[in-house]
Amino acid sequence: MGFKAVLWDFGGVITTSPFDNFNRYEAARGLPLTFIRGVNAINPHDNAWAKFESSRCTVEEFDHLFAAETAAAGHEIRGNEVIGLLGGDVRPRMVKVLTRCKQDYRVACLTNNANAGQGTGMSSTDQQAEDVKAVMKLFDIVIESSKEGIRKPDPRIYRMACERIGVAPEAVVYLDDLGINLKPARDMGMTTIKVTSEQQAIDDLSRILGIDFGV
């Protein structure tokens, strides 16, 4: 079966990674590197982050829940402080690749997000929000965890993506920057790319699809 669709995560793939913002925040406050990511990895299916991204708690509740979880891990951080770190800058070369893929494949976005910041990308500035809005128009389908009430890595949201774009998992290439989110997709038959850098992602997608993106 040939490929018929390319499925994209958003933050850390189309945009710069919020993890970079986390690292800068931690360095500025003398916190252990990757402290925030470490807290989010504890009880990952039912912690404050999981509840927030699946609309099981409000912004106010997330603020207190995340503060409690980080305090228990040794360094209290209010949830509202982290919300301001979630937005990323659109990567122009990835947008060019997405636009080229759209000529031959269905293109869809599958993103874990929350009802915070500005728009789908949880942007922290007006310019970020405008840039994200323009990219979102390129996708045939956009699936947001905050609207669906389920989030990656729940297998249901991957099946939902396939159903909405009308393709079998085996016909999908999926890009995400988190291994935990790639495993369910791979298990159901998708070809997956773990994004560690913009250039690596472009090179891997070029090899899999046989397209010279010229970027």
Higher pLDDT, 170 or 120: 170
Q: What is the pLDDT of residues 172-198, one digit of tens each?
A: 999 999 999 999 999 999 999 999 999
Distances (CA, A) of 127 to 13, 87, 124: 18, 11, 9
Verify that 68 and 114 share a domain, yes or no.
Answer: no
Which stretches of 21-150 are assigned E, i.e. beta strand?
Answer: 106-111, 141-144
Q: What is the pLDDT of residues 122-175, one digit of tens each?
A: 777 888 889 999 999 999 999 999 999 999 999 999 999 999 999 999 999 999
For strand 141-144 and strand 191-194, is the pairing parallel, antiparallel, or unpaired? unpaired
CA angle 195, 53, 14 (to 5 degrees): 30
Verify that 164 and 73 share a domain, yes or no.
Answer: no
Verify that 102 and 161 share a domain, yes or no.
Answer: yes
d(CA 177, CA 48): 21
- Of 83, 100, 122, the last residue of a domain is 83
CATH number of the CATH domain containing 35 = 1.10.150
Residue 79's domain comprises: 18-83
Counting Cα atoms < 13 Å in the Cβ hemisphere of 110 gives 31
Verify that 104 and 202 share a domain, yes or no.
Answer: yes
Residue 168 lies in a domain: yes
Statement: residue 61 has pLDDT above 70: yes
CATH number of the CATH domain containing 96 = 3.40.50.1000
Verify that 176 and 97 share a domain, yes or no.
Answer: yes
d(CA 184, CA 197): 22
Closest by CA position to 105, among listed 202, 5, 7: 5
Domain count, the chain: 2
Please give the average per-residue pLDDT across 13-42, as a whole number: 96
